[in-house]
Amino acid sequence: MVMEVVVKIGTMAFCGFSSKMALFLILGVMAMMNVKGASGELERLEHPTKADGSLGFLVLGDWGRRGDYNQSEVASQMGRIGEELDIDFVVSTGDNFYDDGLTGEHDPNFEESFSKIYTAKSLQKPWYTVLGNHDYRGDVEAQLSPVLRKIDSRWICLRSFIVNAELVEIFFVDTTPFVGAYFANFEDHTYDWRGIKTRRSYLRSLLKDVDSALRASPAKWKIVVGHHAVRSISHHGDTPELIKFLLPILRTNDVDFYINGHDHCLQQITDTESRIQFLTSGAGSKAWRGDINGIDRQDVKFFHDGQGFLSVELTETDARIAFYDVFGKVMHTWNAAKQPISDI
């Protein structure tokens, strides 16, 4: 069985702590336990919805540059939008620290690019985070370490895991090991593959666990988060390995949204064979102007080659996605609806 840590907040008091601190402490304890089921299932975190059953969060990717390349400006607007939407948490799609991840648990880049940048009150919520390829160029174990959670309790970074928020389950997938070029030193970089004994067995187990978890999920909405794009018309383009191995699983299991970073832009692409919307939020700091190929494709619903982030708002029957630029202006929205459970 998958071990679950159930977080209950609201009027709950946790040894004299506020409900927010209780949430951080319990999530931190769970992450430090590095809990896994006997057969290697994905780790699982529980996050409650609001009292009315709704949920909201922001998504940011490719950001950690000590405030440079408009990172601070994006952070400021995230704080404002986060307050307006009363968000429950933040999702990071990876490439959390440039250029080469962290050098260790006490690398000042952690605080200089995270704690001292995202200071708004509305952003003092859990940050559910995956690793990107730039993170793998540094000390991967440092980003996964409970030491960082002692420095900043918002930080929750695991390789692959599930956040269950009642009406939605979010499946975080470690996509960097899928890309064969990183193992061939194609980009002339060194990667920290500790924790991955062999690529083939790691990916086989991960794909099996993701498929199994998606099949078993009773959630109204299913969202998968990874660093690399399945579909993209920007610099890196599609990721062939994800199209071959992950996309069939997403389609079979009726995933609603696949959210990624990696390409430094904002975009939405509709899958031609399923309900999946491919959403890119990789514009947390340095963006790539004019690096685009295929803007006129019918499956491309939105593209912005500048800095920004996106928001997700969910109820049992409705989803609203909004893309914001560096000034906090809404550039594009997408709405989806589902039949209420009571009507099925």
Q: Is the peptide bond before 211 cis (omega within 30 degrees of 0)?
A: no
Instruction: State how far the Cα of 66 lies from the Cα of 96, in Å rounded to an integer.
Output: 11
Contact 126, 156 (CB under 8 A): yes
Tokens of 93: 């799609």
Q: DSSP class of residue 42? A: P
Strand (E) or helix (H) holding 109: helix 109-110
What's the start-to-end Cα distance of the chain, in Å? 29
Contact 82, 123 (CB under 8 A): yes
Instruction: State how far the Cα of 155 lies from the Cα of 145, in Å rounded to an integer.
Output: 10
Residue 27 φ/ψ region, left for φ over 0, alpha for ψ in the -120 to 50 degree band, beta for the rest: alpha
DSSP 261-304: -SSSSEEEEE-SSSS-EEEEE--SS---TT--S-TT-TTEEEEE
Q: Label residue 4 exposed, middle or buried (CB < 10 Å: 0-12, 13-18, 19+).
A: middle
Q: Which residue has the tokens 């307050």?
A: 83
Tokens of 147: 């030491």
The yes-or-no answer on residue 228 being catalytic is no
Instruction: State how far the Cα of 135 lies from the Cα of 141, in Å rounded to an integer.
Output: 10
Instruction: State how far the Cα of 177 lies from the Cα of 64, in Å rounded to an integer.
Output: 21
Question: Could you say which of 134, 227, 236, 262 is catalytic?
Answer: 236
Active site residues: 236
